[in-house]
Amino acid sequence: MGLTSEQDAFGHLMEDYLKGEGGYEIIERNDGFFSTSSGPQLYFTPYEEWWPIEQQAMPFVRGRVLDIGCGAGRHSLYLQEQGFEVTGVDNSPLAVSVSRARGVKDARVLPITQLSLRLGSFDTLLMLGNNFALTGTPRRARWLLRRFHHMTTPGGRILAETRDPYQTDIPEHLQYHEANRQKGRLGGQARFRVRYKKFVTPWIDFLMVSLAELQDLLEGTGWHISYTLGPELGIYLAVMEKQ
- DSSP state for residue 222 in the 8-state scheme: T
What is the value of pTM for the model shown? 0.96
Domain boundaries, the chain: 9-22+36-189+206-242
The tens-digit pLDDT sequence of the chain (243 residues) is 789 999 999 999 999 999 999 789 999 999 999 999 888 999 999 999 999 999 999 999 999 999 999 999 999 999 999 999 999 999 999 999 999 999 999 999 999 999 999 999 999 999 999 999 999 999 999 999 999 999 999 999 999 999 999 999 999 999 999 999 999 999 999 999 999 999 999 999 999 999 999 999 999 999 999 999 999 889 999 999 998
Q: Who contacts 177 (Cβ-Cβ below 8 Å, separation ≥6)?
A: 165, 166, 187, 188
Q: Who contacts 10 (Cβ-Cβ below 8 Å, separation ≥6)?
A: 25, 71, 92, 94, 95, 194, 196, 201
Helix axis angle, 93-102 relative to 9-18, nearest 10°?
A: 30
Q: Are 69 and 129 in contact (CB under 8 A)?
A: yes
Q: Where are the strands (E) in the chain, listed by range?
A: 26-29, 34-36, 65-68, 86-90, 107-109, 122-127, 152-163, 189-196, 199-200, 204-207, 223-232, 235-242
Spatial CA neighbour of 151 closest among 126, 115, 114, 107: 115
Amino acid 37: pLDDT: 86
How many Å apart are CA 123 and CA 65, to the nearest integer?
6
Kindly compute the dihedral angle of the four CA atoms of residues 170, 176, 179, 183, in this order, to the nearest 10 degrees: -140
Q: Fold for domain 9-22+36-189+206-242?
A: Rossmann fold (3.40.50)
- DSSP state for residue 203 in the 8-state scheme: P
